[in-house]
Structure 1
Amino acid sequence: MTVHLLQARNLTKRFRLKSGLFAKTASHTAVDAVDLDLAPRQRIGIVGESGSGKSTLGRLLLGLTKPSEGEVSFEAKAHADRSHKDWKRFRMRTSLVQQNPLSALNPQMSIGEQVAEAVIVHRVADRRGALERAASMLDRVGLSSAMMERFPHQLSGGQRQRVVIARALILHPKFVVFDEAVSALDVSVQAQVASILRDLWHELELGYVFITHDLRIVRHLVDRIAVMYLGRIVETGDIKSVYSGPRHPYTKALLASVPTMDPRVRNVAPPLQGELDIHQLSRGCAFRSRCPLAIERCATEVPLLRKMDRQFAACHRAEELPRPAIARMEMAL
């Protein structure tokens, strides 16, 4: 029997849309009936365009946002059944790394104080012990303990992101959500941070969800991948299978849109055209207006995730999608 660190079942979140005084109540479904399983030490990437519901899903998994439907369980305990004491224990064993490190850090607190704060709040050690642990953690993410006395504005973007990672991992959590954790960094710094995350994953026996729109870097950081489109998971599977043979047109378009350094490869037209359209959610396949394979059935019937070789895809014509020998994209950072 498979032991799960975290499970999500039929996870759904609807947000009420602002409207006029006499207008009908409207809502937007940000996450739509998502199922997700995460084993201990497993790494899952959640990818998709901005507006696909990735960040909302991450917050639902951490209990920071209450679902409209469905439930999340962590270590066999449902969020809905947690007492105040359970939530405190849960917060010690989980963490979040946000996209913008500058806004995530307090400009009036030193780096050392911010990294050590969780240790003090949860009474894991006294102030002196907490600062010692903070210095050690900063060293593990490639920063000198000399940074302890500095303030966020005195650090570079890459250094601030490492501080945020150190703060998130100071209590050695078992599950972390990385929400666009490297998207604001330049490519060289991204590679450095990715290397640090790989090392920490081995050292800390960490399971995590890595949320990103960058398919180039996520390949090096996860075991499995889930592709989201307008709140729904449209394809999921192990990273090698999905990258080498995508079974959903959206996944294929995302992979094809990744820039390549190969001078022999030139995209004449963008492989993914048009914008996310929430009005497509009412019925049928939400991707149909942008899909080159769309047929009449796509406008009336929502495609469900079904097994396709070593992955799952939600597409009526998944069997017809040509299977490339290998995804055309640069794999090296």
Structure 2
Amino acid sequence: MNTPLLLARDLTRAYRHKTGFFARPTSQLAADSISFELMARERIGVVGESGSGKSTLGRLLLGLTPPTRGDVWFEGVNHRDRSAQDWTTFRKCTSLVQQNPLSALNPQMTIGEQVAEGMLVHRVAGRTEAYERTVAMLERVGLSGAMMNRFPHQMSGGQRQRVVIARALILDPKLVVFDEAVSALDVSVQAQVVALLRSLWQELDLAYVFITHDLRIVRHLVDRIVVMYLGRVVETGDIRAVYEQPRHPYTRALLASVPTMDPSVRNIEPPIKGELDADSVSQGCAFRSRCPFAIDRCAVETPLLQNFGRQQAACHRAEEFTGPVPSQAIAPQQKEMA
């Protein structure tokens, strides 16, 4: 039996809030009892709206945020048991690619200095070798070695994102967390970066967690998907199984919101209404206040993940959703009005 590269069990993170001087502090669960495994060279996508806990999950996996409860193991070692030396070794094996490449880069350092910095800090290469490896990595991500002496403000958004990816991969990590890595880019540039990530994964011994709110992109980049809502996993499984037969109303609504390139086809799945309601998390289904399929049971009983072949869903009515997100062709008279 293969040992997972990364294992998360009952991972929970609560943040305390205080709205006034005399008010009692309250807590909000950014991640609520999340468990999953990531094998070597596996790709997992984490999707959901802003505020669903995706970025918190990524930081928990990398040990950048301590969990309130639960554990994370990387190569069989629990984050809680790591010594300072263990953390140094772990940092060499993992990387984070942040959402905004301009804010992720130091404006006062050249591109070459920033990509090579990891090698110098961890003392895996001298300056000459670090320079050569930096040039090679920049060319690997589609940039010219002549850009070594440029500063971030002298590059386009797509070029900066490639620099951030090069910096994340320069130490040959085993795990990379991409946190909304393409959301700030134009659509044409997004396609280029997606193609780059696919080719790099094929070349490198790499596993990654791809965090995004865009289901249009994630389907081309991952093997499995985790759908989150207010800190909870509401559906997870094989990417094709979830796309072809989503079992949770939230997943179906997210898929229905993905625009189609065919003007004659229009999604008819009920759209998501309202806003994220953190107060609904304490009891029952957290999505019930926005769900068009909610029943009385949803308000009193928290649904647990149930197995449905190659996927799991946390919905009391999951068995009723037996097909893909429905769509309809627009009639000729509707096309004139659309």
TM range (shorter): over 0.9
Assess, with a 3 A threshold, how the Cα gap between structure 1 residues 269 and 316 changes in structure 2: closer, same or farther. Answer: closer
Aligned identity (percent) is 70
Contact 2:96 2:178 in 1 (8 A): yes
Contact 1:44 1:222 in 2 (8 A): yes
SS of corresponding position for 2:103: helix
Contact 1:16 1:25 in 2 (8 A): yes
CA shift, 1:266, in A, is 2.9
Assess, with a 3 A threshold, how the Cα gap between structure 1 residues 147 and 327 changes in structure 2: closer, same or farther. Answer: farther
**1:101-120 to 2 correspondences below 5 Å:** 101-120=101-120
Contact 2:234 2:314 in 1 (8 A): yes
Distance in 2 between residues matched to 1:64 and 1:239, nearest whole Å:
28
Is it true that 1:62 corresponds to 2:62 in the alignment? yes
Q: In the alignment, residue 96 of structure 1 is paired with which amino acid?
A: L
What residue in structure 1 maps to residue 28 of structure 2? 28
CA shift, 1:268, in A, is 7.0
Contact 2:270 2:292 in 1 (8 A): no
SS of corresponding position for 1:34: strand
Q: Which runs of 5+ in 1 are unaligned?
A: 329-333
**1:304-315 to 2 correspondences below 5 Å:** 304-315=304-315
Distance in 2 between residues matched to 1:270 and 1:247, nearest whole Å:
14
What residue in structure 2 maps to residue 331 of structure 1? none
CA shift, 1:309, in A, is 2.3
Is it true that 1:234 corresponds to 2:252 in the alignment? no
Contact 1:245 1:327 in 2 (8 A): no
> Which is worse superposed, 10-19 or 228-237?
10-19
SS of corresponding position for 1:148: helix
Contact 1:255 1:327 in 2 (8 A): no
Q: In the alignment, residue 118 of structure 2 is paired with which amino acid?
A: A
**1:173-252 to 2 correspondences below 5 Å:** 173-252=173-252
Contact 1:9 1:36 in 2 (8 A): yes
CA shift, 1:322, in A, is 4.1
Is it true that 1:297 corresponds to 2:300 in the alignment? no
CA shift, 1:20, in A, is 2.2
Contact 1:245 1:326 in 2 (8 A): no
What is the CA RMSD across the aligned residues, in angstroms?
1.4
Assess, with a 3 A threshold, how the Cα gap between structure 1 residues 324 and 268 changes in structure 2: closer, same or farther. Answer: closer
Deviation per CA, 1:239-295, whole angstroms, max 9, x where unpaired?
000000000000000000001111112357961111111011110000001111111
Is it true that 1:283 corresponds to 2:257 in the alignment? no
What residue in structure 1 maps to residue 96 of structure 2? 96
CA shift, 1:19, in A, is 2.9
Distance in 2 between residues matched to 1:18 and 1:64, nearest whole Å:
23
Query: Could you state the TM-score of these two structures normalised by the residue count of structure 1?
Result: 0.96
Distance in 1 between residues matched to 2:28 and 2:121, nearest whole Å:
37
Assess, with a 3 A threshold, how the Cα gap between structure 1 residues 268 and 207 changes in structure 2: closer, same or farther. Answer: closer
SS of corresponding position for 1:266: strand
Query: Could you state the TM-score of these two structures normalised by the residue count of structure 2?
Result: 0.95
